[in-house]
């Protein structure tokens, strides 16, 4: 299980790295282009940073939901053990 978690972590980090590289490349490409689009390089960079930020935040929210689910499952197991012990003593 640990291998799978580490594998997905590295895949996610590689994907974010590729998005950052693509954003910088695209922004520099637009900024150095001698056309009317070169004025939009700041906007492209800002929107790209926003998009990458949203991706990272959504991954963080997913991790929080998984963590809450795991803690909830542990609490349910503990409550079942307490109920079983109370029924055994009664």
Reported as a single tens digit per residue, the pLDDT across 25-50 is 999 888 888 777 778 888 888 999 99
Q: Which residues of the chain have pLDDT under 50?
A: none
The pLDDT of residue 83: 96
Q: What is the dihedral of CA 30, 36, 40, 42, to 10 degrees?
A: 70
Which pTM was predicted?
A: 0.69
Burial class of residue 27 in the structure, from the number of CB atoms within 10 Å of its CB (0-12 exposed, 13-18 middle, 19+ buried): buried
Show me where the domains of the chain are located.
2-89
Q: What is d(CA 20, CA 43) in angstroms, rounded to the nearest whole number? A: 15
């Amino acid at each position: 299980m640990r291998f799978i978690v580490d594998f997905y972590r590295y895949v996610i980090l590689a994907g974010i790295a590729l998005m950052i590289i693509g954003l910088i490349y695209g922004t520099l490409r637009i900024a150095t282009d001698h056309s009317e689009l070169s004025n939009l390089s700041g906007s492209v960079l800002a929107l790209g940073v926003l998009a990458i930020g949203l991706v990272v935040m959504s991954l963080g929210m997913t991790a929080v939901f998984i963590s809450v689910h795991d803690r909830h499952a542990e609490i349910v197991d503990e409550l079942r053990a307490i109920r079983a012990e109370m029924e055994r003593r009664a």
